[in-house]
Amino acid sequence: MSGACGASHRLETEGSFCLVLHSHLPWLPHHGAWPVGEEWLYQAWAHSYLPMVDLLEQLAAEGHRDVLTLGVTPVLAAQLDDPYALRACHEWLGNWLLRAQFAATHWREPLLSDLAAHEFRAATNALATFESRWRNGFSPILRSLVDTGVIELLGGPLTHPFQPLLRRPVRSFALRAGLADTALRLGRAPAGIWAPECGYAPGMEHDYAAAGVERFLVDGPALHGDTHAGRPVGSSDVVCFGRDLEVTYRVWSPKAGYPGDPAYRDFHTFDHPSGLKPSRVTGKHVPPHEKRPYDPALAATAVAKHADDFVSTVVARLRSLRAQHGRPGLVVAAYDTELFGHWWHEGPAWLSAVLRTLPSAGVRVTTLRGALAAGHVGPAVELPASSWGSGKDWRVWDGEQVSDLVTAGAALQDELLAVAPVPWRDPVRDQLVREALLTLSSDWAFMVTKDSAADYARRRAKVHGDRFAELAALIRAGHPSRFPRAEALRAEDGLFGRLDARGLLS
């Protein structure tokens, strides 16, 4: 069977739908725990990545293929395969189970008592799944989903840097090394990427073509909202796909979306003794102490309502596109994977309902690869400088609030290109490149601009920037202490074990 509609016998008439999910977290092991740090990783692992894999494997067992396009950044893949992170996540899941047991003995209100029992079952199942399926990391699981055609995989540059702000040699190295890292884990490099933050600068398509990238994502406004098909970029054969914001924003936008429904579980309200979330949203302006207890039955009703609404929105959009262009169109809806389960507790249930309902509404569910095969390709386009951030330009990553980070990042790259490229293998320079790329992660500027754990983001950028400067000075001085210092830093931040600084010479 082909497509997620393989179990449906209805003729597909409305058009095609691609769900694209972007899975990414910055490198977090060994860099704090709470409120920002490793806890962020383990929450997303438990509440988004485990449920997502479970859903995909259920759909695979039912015969579905080309279910969705899944982006997994190399830096996230490194964490989900990292022995330290695997052990720590296992401990976190065990702690979740203990916290659920605590809640079961202290939450007396009937709805809360039921919720504690639900948490205990969820933690028990997650722990069992992790022990039986995840102890060797994510890559074996992901490879099975890729090799059997259940998903299309998107990759990206190593540490999720905002590519338009990178010197071209650094940008090229980060992308080629990121694709190579994915190939090492999964057996082959992906043909498509989720460009970090959908950041694009004119001409980058030629770098993509040189690296073997055939398709990438941009935000809808970069195509002036004309997202009904993939579009070759400039004179290249590289195809861009744009997020259809008319559909995407039904779920999550800067102002509203389904997760704000009063029946859904409130992400921000904690029971501090247990660390669990016992409340429903209740209302937009309701203070935490006045929020009502979470009721799974109410939430399930909201999931069904919002799944139906989304399917109706997709069908209406596809009919509009057909009327406009005279042929079946394409809708691409794209989100962060972590929205589903971590930020929005009911997100995985909603996804399950949508992916199973769309085919019966006459919509072909497929991947970006499948959309190309189905002929959803329009004329070539010249893209402007763009991103999916505020203003759809680069302001989140190069605005006034982060001008110091931008200046420091430019100077760091100049020093990297002056010090790192040598024709022999040097583990000190390898670590120098690691620290440079960790400094250049796009997450730090995003968190500062959005004032989301800004202090943590600035601290992380400074820590890695200082370590880079220290190693660069030791290399320039030829100091013998550079070897033990680089080894000590690698013990903490040793991701991408085969990273080779000589790639900067290419």
Active site residues: 197, 336
Q: How far apart are CA 212 and CA 198, in angstroms?
A: 18
Q: How far apart are CA 167 and CA 101, in angstroms?
A: 52
What tokens were used for 256?
């509203």
**Are the beta carbons of 415 and 472 closer than 8 angstroms?**
yes
Q: Is 306 exposed, middle or buried (0-12, 13-18, 19+ CB in 10 A)?
A: buried
Report how far apart, in Å, the C-alpha atoms of 240 and of each of 173, 218, 321, 386 are. 21, 7, 18, 13
Closest by CA position to 155, among listed 188, 199, 200: 188
Q: Helix crossing, 74-81 with 83-106: angle to 10°? A: 70
Q: How far apart are CA 399 and CA 449, in angstroms?
A: 8
The DSSP output letter for 497 is: T
* H-state helical runs in 377-481: 395-398, 403-419, 427-439, 442-449, 454-477
Bond into 484 cis (ω within 30): no
Report how far apart, in Å, the C-alpha atoms of 230 and of each of 57, 152, 177, 233, 371 are. 28, 16, 26, 9, 8
What tokens were used for 94?
């065990």
Q: Helix crossing, 296-325 with 110-129: angle to 10°? A: 70
Specify the amino acid at residue 480.
Answer: P
Beta bridge mates, 153? 70
